[in-house]
Every structure is written in structure tokens, then in C-alpha cells.
Structure 1
């Protein structure tokens, strides 16, 4: 998203290279490594490169991509959520990740609900997919709460790992 959006408690804005220290921390949390995968990002410079090579091109091409979620009351960065286009997959997918200290407080639901609304209203998307590991129960519960339905098993272009494939019409 080229624009920022707000919810009751949160500000959602496109990721920038200035977020590299935060992204470095997030990408090295145990749940990121377990459920999303180790991207071998170990320095701020590597996180900057990851943002520049992976996130910024999607925003430039589609007008949206990865976003940083910030608590309005104190400007603390809580996590990320975004909608991603993947090579060889027609329907874009939604994804999210939060620092462990910010889990279980409703931030992911609040941010992703707003993101789904923005994708429909501002970008005209008619449907979204989501992919998660079967053992990632918190992501599965969030997707189901957001109205996504389990379609079956799928894979992403970058991996042969079998994932649960969710889908939702907007």
C-alpha cells in the first residue's frame, strides 16, 4: 500500500528500509523461523537488502505489499501484515507476523481485518488466499476468524513444503 491506514489502536503503513532493525528482530523470532522459515537475515544490512529486494518491488508494481503495524499510543512496531503476489500463483495471499510480546492481544485480527477491507475497497481485489503450516494453530484460527476457508493442501513457488491453503472471496 502506498498509503497508511489506521484502526482504533493501530497505524498500518508500507514497509521501508528504515524498518530494517525491526525486520531483523522479527525474522529471527522462534515462530518466524518455525512457521515462515529461516531467511538467513542476521544483520541490519541483510534486513535492508531483504526489504529492498523482496518488499519494495511488490509495492512499486502493485501499489501494496508488506506493511508495518504500529501501536498508535506509543509508536511501537508490533509486527507486519501484507498481501503478496507470488510467481506462478494467480490469487494474491495475505500474511502476517508479530513479535512474541504482541501476540494474543488482538492486534493481528485488527490489522488484517483492515487490510482485507482496504484490498477490496481501494485495490478492487475479489479474493485472497493464505498459506500456513498445519501446526501453526494461531494463524489457522486467525484466518478462520477472518472468514477464510480451508481449500486443501498447497505449495508456494519457493518451496516444496506442503501448506494448508485457505481462500476467501472479498
Structure 2
């Protein structure tokens, strides 16, 4: 798998990924309705963090076939003191090890190349596949949290 920073050319893919039922259920509705919405989201949400920190959101692309299959990244999130690893995958590529491979690689880059001491992850209480992947990455459940502006209680994990 290849990981590369998300670009404006990925607007149509982000629009598709972010409007999948599982994305909306487990991550949230980002209210992206058009390609222009997705491009603005990339410009206003992804680019500033990449410029500020040097890392952010990356596209997962298969080596064979050069197919866009998901996204993974390390994010500064309001309400969390430790940067957060996040991942999303098109349904048809779930259960094949892609999300773990990408998340493991991005976690290593964050810690080895950017000197991060800790990485966190959040997930909904009913997203068991994400919980399993987060634990496989070596993060441990710490507590229940809520993110500012949201009422949903999330499970918070952190590396040791």
C-alpha cells in the first residue's frame, strides 16, 4: 500500500468515503454534499494542519492497480491533549488488513519521524472493529470522553 497526502484531486473520493453509511455512523456526518464541498473540506481542514505540523491526512492507495481505498492520519483534535490517529476505509476493503497496515505505518512515522511521544485514538462504543484495531496498534483504553460541540461519549485510547 502507498500512503500519500490527500490533495484537491481527491475531492470525489473524499466525498464518496465521507458519505458512506458506516463513516457517518461511526465518525460523523461532515455535511459534504458536492465535490466542491469536499475540496473545501480538504483545503480548510487538511491543508492547514499539514502546513502547521508536517503531518495530517493521507490517502491509502493500493500498489497494485493504484486504487484509492481509504484514508488514515494523525490529527490535532479540539478537546484532546494528545494527537489522534484516525482511519476510514471503503466498505469493500474492510477486513483485509489495509487499515491496520496503514495505521501502523502512520503511527510509526508520527513517533519516529516527528518525535511524537504519545498517540491517542477515539472511537464510538459500538465500533468494535475499530476498537480491535486500536488495541492491536498497542493503544490502551483510558476513559470515556466527549469532544467539544458533540454529546456522544467516545472511548479514548492512548499509547504508553
TM-score (norm 2): 0.97
Corresponding position: 1:78 with 2:69: yes
Aligned to 1:14: 5
1:156 alignment partner, SS class: coil
Give, in whole Å, the separation in 2 of the partners of 1:156 and 1:84: 13
Aligned to 1:114: 105
CA contact (8 A) 1:133 1:163 kept: yes
CA contact (8 A) 1:86 1:157 kept: no
User: Paired residue for 1:99, among 67, 81, 90?
Assistant: 90
Q: Give a deviation string over 1:61-100, Cα, whole Å, max 9, x none.
A: 0000010000011100010000001234321000000000
User: Paired residue for 1:126, among 99, 111, 117?
Assistant: 117
Q: Any unmatched runs of 5+ in structure 2?
A: none
Q: Any unmatched runs of 5+ in structure 1?
A: 1-9
List aligned pairs for 1:42-81, cutoff 5 A. Answer: 42-81=33-72
Q: How many residues align?
A: 160
TM-score (norm 1): 0.91
Give the C-alpha shift of residue 15 in structure 1.
Answer: 0.7
2:106 alignment partner, SS class: helix
Corresponding position: 1:160 with 2:157: no
1:127 alignment partner, SS class: coil
Corresponding position: 1:31 with 2:22: yes
- Structure 1 moving runs of 4+ over 3 Å: none
